[in-house]
Structure 1
Amino acid sequence: MTDNFVSGDIGGTKTLLQATEWLAGDAQVRFERRYSNREYSSFSDVLGDFLGNTSALGMKPPLSACFAVAGPVTEQGIKLTNLPWLMNARVLEREFGIPAVKLINDFEAVALSVEVLAVDDLVTLQKGLPYANGLRVTLGAGTGMGVAWLIWQGGRYIPLPTEAGHIDFAPVDELQMRLLDYLRKRFGRVSVERVLSGPGLVNIFNFLLDEWGGTENLAQARLESDEAPQVSDLAFNQGYPVAMKSIDLFVKIYGAYAGNLALAGLCRDGVYVAGGIAPRIIGKLQEGGFIKAFREKGRFSSLMEDIPVHVVMNPTAGLMGAAEEAKRMLVAGPGRE
């Protein structure tokens, strides 16, 4: 007899949903679909369409569901940070007749995927000296900046969601100080996410455009917040100086921030850099600027050399983590969470 569960990864721009059959310890994905969030007014509309498709395939209604969501989950409810959707687990249970629904932070889901990622899903920037069962941290720039810790407890890693992407941006040199001043005039308070995200990369580009405006013959106009892919195209395909400098500065800030998180948690069992941007700039991350900035922690620089650093290349890591939790919920059964 088979049972079914549903998992999902809901970001600022897209939603990935997956339906899986569970039989005698074997999980088999039966259906998966990607949705553009802008085309739907609510998550219920997305889930309703998805379950309609699984029903048409002859699948039974799911017994559990876990959805990774971009934003802070409070009492199993959330208003997404970068999307005007409201979600509530109990409402979804009643609306779709699913016995157990759980919402988790998107980087909580990425953290859950670390244990099931394949070797080929990771690119190692620093091997370090891993401590078995030591603290881990996952972070990643995409539409925003996500962070989650992983702590060993009860024989497995437990994810701890955070909103560390919204802590203050900490510049480390004169150029970054000028970037902070530039962004402060625009936003007031400047969080890490204002710099390390898709819109953050655009902020860096526009800042450098202004910095170099008096000395460079610049034909490129300022970009809008959703045009981060254009910065990458200008840098990697067109060799545009401001765009190349933007990527370099982004990587340096990224490395320093990852190092701050690793130091704050003493993450001796690894730092996992995920999110949508890292795989697209993996060549730059491997050049050394990221790790150099990661290690530059003064008296603790030698300690930083011992912390493993990996880049998660699998774009479905969040979905994998949500599926792991939905499977655990199914095995545990209602009321045994």
Structure 2
Amino acid sequence: MILAGDVGGTKANLAFYSLKNTRLHLLVQKQYPSNGYADLHELIAEFIQETQLNADHVCIAVAGPVVDGSCHATNLPWVIDAGLLAKRLNLKNVELMNDLEANAHGIYELTDDDFVTINKGDIKKHGNVGVISAGTGLGEAGIIWEDRKMRPFASEGGHCDFAPNGPLQFELLQYLQKKFDHVSCERVLSGQGLRNIYDFLRDQNKYPQPEWLAASLNAGDAPSIISKHGLKGETEICVEALNIFTDIYGAEAGNLALKLMATGGIYIGGGIAPKMIAKLKEPRFLKAFLEKGRLRNVLETIQIKVIMNDKTALLGAARCALMHAGIFHHIGAV
């Protein structure tokens, strides 16, 4: 029995899986508001109590850097220690891993129906792969080809400096520098990042903010509201905020592709991309991805796919639980 978790800054997905004929089979899965719990122990304890199931192998994917079995969650006030968590839950062992590394593992549990292709490219069977996911935060990871196996690895690339393109994005950077000590890419490429872009357009008088929209943003989920009206083309300020967000997403995906020489493809995960798939299919995303000067011809050959399955990290965590138990090995040639 495998207990897997995908814990982000907004929500947490927990599930029990069984293994049948080398395939993972979901037994039960539940979602919780992660910011509604004092710590991860409390959240997992509630799930175990509700399901009345026991785990032989446990792996939890968390949004943040995992070092020596410990993680200070990026967007939650939690410090998570795998050893302490196992002791408090009376479990034999708990593995912690970065959520984007889990996403990378989970890709190999998906089928063609779980993807939407943005750029067909010329995929190399044994090429490196990049994974980028905007959600509550911005995660980035990679998969390298080594010793005839694909090996996913974590990074904290989402916290690298935001690199603006064009005069408007330079103005955006200058605006955000007055608000934050460090303007990372996550400050503009995440749920809150979309809100930051919107606030910039409003505060710098680029576009008017309708009174009804101001009231709606104050009362509800601002990023979702901005995205909704931007996708419908209903409100100029929302449309432009989403345009800038899409441009930055494409540019950062291109940056990751070059850093990893990701000839095996770029996968776009996270909770935001599937909701704005129509926008990502527009020419502006690919245009921003490709605009890398002398290396444009390299990027034109790189396949880009959007992951539509929101349980990918959960599947990856389950897979890694079995790997740590010696039941699965590192991903083979695919």
Aligned to 1:52: 49
* Greater displacement, 28-37 / 188-197: 28-37
Shift in Å, 1:24 = 5.5
Alignment of 1:95 with 2:92, yes or no, is no
**1:231–1:165 distance in 2 versus 1, CA, 3 Å:** same
Q: Which amino acid aligns with 1:299?
A: R
Matched, 1:78 2:77: no
Alignment partner, residue 143 of structure 1: 136
Give 2:181's aligned residue.
Answer: 188
CA distance in 2, matches of 1:232, 1:51: 36
1:299-332 Cα shifts (integer Å, max 9, x gaps):
1111110011111111111111111111223444
Q: Could you tell me how far 1:95 is from its partner in structure 2?
A: 2.2
Q: What is the distance in 2 between the residues matched to 1:89 and 1:305?
A: 42
Question: Residue 150 of structure 1: CA displacement?
Answer: 0.5
Give the root-mean-square deviation of aligned CA atoms.
Answer: 1.9
Bigger shift: residues 29-38 or 106-115 = 29-38
Answer yes or no: is the 8 Å Cα contact 1:77–1:89 preserved in 2. yes
Q: 2:300 aligns with which of 301, 305, 314?
A: 305
Residue equivalent to 1:271: 266
Question: What residue identity is the alignment partner of 2:294?
Answer: R
**TM-score (normalizing by structure 1):** 0.91
After superposing on structure 2, the runs of 4+ consecutive aligned residues of structure 1 that deviate more than 6 Å are none
Paired with 2:203 and 2:50, the residues of 1 have a C-alpha distance of 50
> Shift of the alpha carbon at 1:145?
0.3
Find the counterpart in structure 2 of residue 43 from structure 1.
40
Match of 1:314 among 309, 316, 325: 309
TM-score of the superposition, structure 2-length normalised?
0.92
Query: Given residue 20 of structure 1, which amino acid in structure 2 is its aligned partner?
Result: Y
Give, in whole Å, the separation in 2 of the partners of 1:21 and 1:237: 42
AA in 1 matched with 2:4 = S
Give percent identity, aligned residues only: 38
CA contact (8 A) 1:5 1:20 kept: yes
Deviation at 1:238, TM superposition (A): 6.5
Distance 2:249 2:238 in 1: 16
Q: What SS class does the counterpart of residue 55 from structure 2 fall into? A: coil
Q: Is the 8 A contact 1:5 1:330 kept in 2?
A: no
- Which has the higher mean CA deviation after the structures are superposed, 266-275 or 86-95? 86-95
In 2, distance between residues paired with 1:29 and 1:260? Answer: 36
Aligned letter for 2:3? V
Answering whether residue 165 of structure 2 is matched by residue 168 of structure 1, we say no
> Match for 2:255: what amino acid?
N
CA contact (8 A) 1:20 1:29 kept: yes
Task: Note if 1:286 corresponds to 2:281.
Answer: yes
Whole-angstrom CA distance in 2 between matches of 1:23 and 1:283: 37
Separation (CA, whole Å) in 2 of partners of 1:173 and 1:195: 15
